[in-house]
Amino acid sequence: MSDEILRTSREKMEKAIEVMLNEFKGVRTGRATPGLVENIRADYYGTPTPIKQLATITIPDAKMILIKPFDQGALAEIEKAIAKSDIGINPQSDGKVIRLTVPPLSEDRRRQMSVMVKDIGEKARVAVRNIRRDANKHIDDQEKEKAISKDDRFRLKDEIQKMTDGEEKRIGDSVEKKTKEIMTV
């Protein structure tokens, strides 16, 4: 039972970090990457669908994103979704493909992006801490039910704390790396 608590907590913490890293992909760094647009949802026959499921996204050069819809009928909706998104790039369509020219970020915008990255990292930290809290509560409940001993409770809580500390360090390192990437001109 105690190993199950540890395993479940580790899986949930991994998932929280995976979500954070996925959100980081959508943060502009001044270079063209598919991550900037692939999760933007376009209305496709009444269903919000990620662009990566509607089109091929390629990077012909460092400042250009090329989006070629599988269904030409989705072109206008993809274009509209990109225009509404907060990535700050205006789409240019020629009727067959959408071109996005990634402009260099101003110093002010870089700072805003850095703050956004720190906020995403803080959300991940809160998620990891909530997972720790839930695991500790579960451990306490197990001890009350006499399913585990007092020593096991202390050992498990210590392992949960070590796991939490490790994941928080990973989050901090990821935030620092992404911030550095954004601030590099």
Fold of 34-101: Gyrase A; domain 2 (3.30.1360)
Q: What is the pLDDT of residue 1?
A: 64
Which bin fits 170, alpha (ψ -120 to 50), beta or left (φ > 0)? alpha
Fold of 2-25+106-183: Topoisomerase I; Chain A, domain 4 (1.10.132)
- What is the per-residue pLDDT across 56-85, written as a single tens digit (0 to 9) for each? 999 988 788 899 999 888 888 998 998 888
40-47 long-range contacts (CB < 8 A, ≥24 apart) are 40/81, 40/82, 40/85, 40/87, 41/81, 42/74, 42/77, 42/78, 42/80, 42/81, 43/77, 43/80, 43/81, 44/74, 44/77
CB-neighbour burial class of residue 94 (10 A; exposed 0-12, middle 13-18, buried 19+):
exposed
- What is the per-residue pLDDT across 116-130, written as a single tens digit (0 to 9) for each? 999 999 999 999 999
How does the average pLDDT of the chain come out, rounded?
89
Q: Where in the sequence of the chain do the CATH 3.30.1360.40 domains occur? A: 34-101
Q: Give the angle subtended at the CA of 26 by the CAs of 23 and 28, to the nearest 5°.
A: 130
Q: What is the pLDDT of residue 134?
A: 94
Comparing 28-37, 54-63, 152-161, which segment has the lowest mean pLDDT?
A: 28-37
**Could you give the CA distance from residue 160 to residue 155 in angstroms, rounded to a whole number?**
9
What is the rounded radius of gyration, in angstroms, for the C-alpha atoms of the chain?
A: 22
Q: Where in the sequence of the chain do the CATH 1.10.132.20 domains occur? A: 2-25+106-183
